[in-house]
Amino acid sequence: MKRLLLPLLLVAALAAGQETVTEPSTGKTFPATVRYTWQGTEYTMSLTGTAVRKKLVFKVYGMAHYAQDPASGRKEDALAAMLVDGKARQITMDFARDVDAGKIRDAYLDGFRENSTAAEMKEIQPLVDQFIGYFAVDVKENQQFIVRWLPGGTVVATVAGAEKPPITNPVFARVLWSIWLGKDSIVDRDDLVARIATN
């Protein structure tokens, strides 16, 4: 009996550790927890919510947002916390359609401009140019982009499985994150903190 129970308990434990969440509009599935090691430090991040990016009527990608030790609280407080440097966080985008590389670069450039002041944009422009240069190849359906914001303002992007050189600048990191979690978000930002927001 013990020989039968042990494998069953092991399977149950593994299944519990592999919880996934589905973004309903695109059907894209994301793990509830992600881990990432950077310069010898492992960061464990929990899913705070999912959303869909649409352009007109077209679904572009499903996305998931993760944060290290996210605190539950009021929606406004949760959103504000995601734009403050100090804890690791991650955005995973899973594309629902093919997208031209030029359109991706243009979308990011617009996002940086719309979420920064003129002074901030002047400061981070070289870093923005570096970042959008990472998107040189057209994206195919089901490819993923992963962007991580690590403590100290370091952004590490992984494009279709290829990790790009890091960019370290807290202003750049905050403006980048504001594209999705700021007041002029390109998605329903409330959805990105739905799992930790109490109201």
- Whether residue 4 lies inside any domain: the answer is no
Helices (H), ranges, the chain: 2-16, 75-81, 101-114, 118-132, 170-181
Question: What pLDDT is recorded for position 190?
Answer: 97
Q: What is the value of pTM for the model shown?
A: 0.90
Among candidates 64, 60, 89, 80, which has minimal Cα distance to 191?
A: 64
- Asked whether the predicted pLDDT for residue 44 surpasses 70, the reply is yes
Q: At what angle do helices 170-181 and 118-132 cross, to 10 degrees?
A: 90
Q: Classify residue 71: in a domain, yes or no.
A: yes
Question: In the predicted model, what is the mean pLDDT of residues 86-94?
Answer: 98
Give rounded-to-5 percent helix, strand, coil for the chain: 35, 35, 35
Residues of the domain holding 105:
19-193
More confident residue, 15 or 59: 59
pLDDT of residue 13: 41
Residue 171 gets which letter from DSSP?
H
Residue 198 lies in a domain: no
Kindly tell me if the per-residue pLDDT of 9 is higher than 80. Answer: no
- pLDDT for the residue numbered 17: 56
CATH number for the domain harbouring residue 142 = 3.50.70.10
Q: Is residue 11 part of a domain?
A: no
- How many independent structural domains does the chain possess? 1
Per-residue pLDDT tens over the stretch 123-181: 999 999 999 999 999 999 999 999 999 999 999 999 989 999 999 999 999 999 999 99
Give domain status of residue 116, yes or no.
yes
Up-side HSE of residue 178: CA atoms within 13 Å toward CB? Answer: 20
